[in-house]
Amino acid sequence: MSGRLKVLRSGDEAALGELLAQDPIANCFVAARLEVAGLEPWRLGGEVWGWFEDRELVAGLFLGANLIPIGGTPRSRTSFSERAMSAGRHCSSIVGPSEEVLALWQLLASAWGPAREIRADQPLLAMDRDSQMPSDELVRPATLEDLDLLIPACIAMFTEEVGAPPFPVGGSQAYRNRVAELVKSERAYVRIIDGQVAFKAEVGAVSRAACQVQGVWVDPALRGKGFSVGGMAAVVAAARQKQGPIVSLYVNDYNTVARATYARVGFRPVGQFATILF
């Protein structure tokens, strides 16, 4: 069986779309980018490598700020890793289905390591219906008037989750612009109490088949008071109406509080992710 690696370009969208559709929840992020930007790197924010066997696209690799595998075979992983090592590391993480991420990392670690952190067990959860838990009626789409309140909450959440701020020195304006775009798209949800963000979450990726929630956060002073369950119930209902029929997210296995919250809201496991952080 012949095999070859190719950088995907205009004309390969249909084949890549078929590959992504094999697991629309796990592949939501790349599918969302493809549907909006096609395969032009300047619009996509990266490029996609494809692995073909007998002219059929059987695996892919998105290379942007994150490196994201799309399916995989032993031959595709070997080919992708060899080319990635030759090109050097430019991503801040490898993220996606755990089997593929960990297999790629095993091949890349000698050249790209050491990793700052390996999160090998991140349940991928999803809902295709509204929650049976009461929604927090005060959770709403953020507006640009909320931006000065929302940005510090986003930074706090990211730093708490990843262990580093979400932008390099001097990059705060670019980060603010990214959050503002989510707000303009009505993909950022907040509950504000006395001029402070009590709860927030964003819909980071939206494809025709699914959407993916990120940045779920409750003000530390308000944790344990039920804001997360009602807030997420509200986000699921709004996201299913405005963004996509299936709402997904992934969570660290050790975050037992968050996992219990998502289970109460109605999320169920549909896969397993892993993340390699640099």
Q: Mention every residue, 6+ apart, whose C-beta is less than 8 A from residue 110.
A: none
Q: Bridge partners of 53?
A: 3, 56
Question: What tokens appear for 86 in the block?
Answer: 């030759």
Q: Which of 40, 45, 28 is nearest to 174 (CA)?
A: 45
Q: Bridge partners of 141?
A: 189
Q: Which amino acid is at 261?
A: T
CB atoms under 10 Å from CB of 78, counted, come to: 16
CB atoms under 10 Å from CB of 201, counted, come to: 27
Cα dihedral 228, 155, 184, 219 in deg (nearest 10) = 30
Buried/exposed 4-29: b ≥16 CB within 10 Å, e otherwise? ebeebeeebeebbbebbeebbbbbbb
**What is the Cα 34 distance to its own chain's centre?**
14
Q: How many residues does the chain have?
A: 278
- Phi, psi (rounded to 5 degrees) for 245: -70, -25
Could you say which architecture CATH assigns to the domain 3-114? 3-Layer(aba) Sandwich (3.40)
| CB contact at 8 A, 35 and 52 | no
Task: List the strands of the sheet with 211-218, edge to edge.
Answer: 3-7, 47-53, 56-63, 66-70, 93-97, 268-277, 117-127, 247-250, 211-218, 196-206, 188-193, 140-141
Which regions of the chain carry the CATH code 3.40.630.30?
Answer: 127-272
| CB contact at 8 A, 48 and 20 | no
Q: Exposed (0-12), middle (13-18) or buried (19+): which is 69, by Cβ within 10 Å?
A: buried
- Phi, psi (rounded to 5 degrees) for 274: -145, 155
In this prediction, residue 163 carries a pLDDT of 83
Question: What tokens appear for 213 in the block?
Answer: 């929630």
Give the fold, CATH level 3, of 127-272.
Answer: Aminopeptidase (3.40.630)
pLDDT per position in the chain (278 positions), as tens? 679 999 999 999 999 999 999 999 999 999 999 999 999 889 999 999 999 999 999 999 999 999 999 999 999 999 999 999 999 999 999 999 999 999 999 999 999 999 999 999 999 999 999 999 999 999 999 999 999 999 999 999 999 988 888 887 666 898 999 999 999 999 999 999 999 999 999 999 999 999 999 999 999 999 999 999 999 999 999 999 999 999 999 999 999 999 999 999 999 999 999 999 99
C-alpha distances in angstroms, 265 versus 73, 91, 212, 254? 35, 33, 15, 19
| CB contact at 8 A, 97 and 250 | no
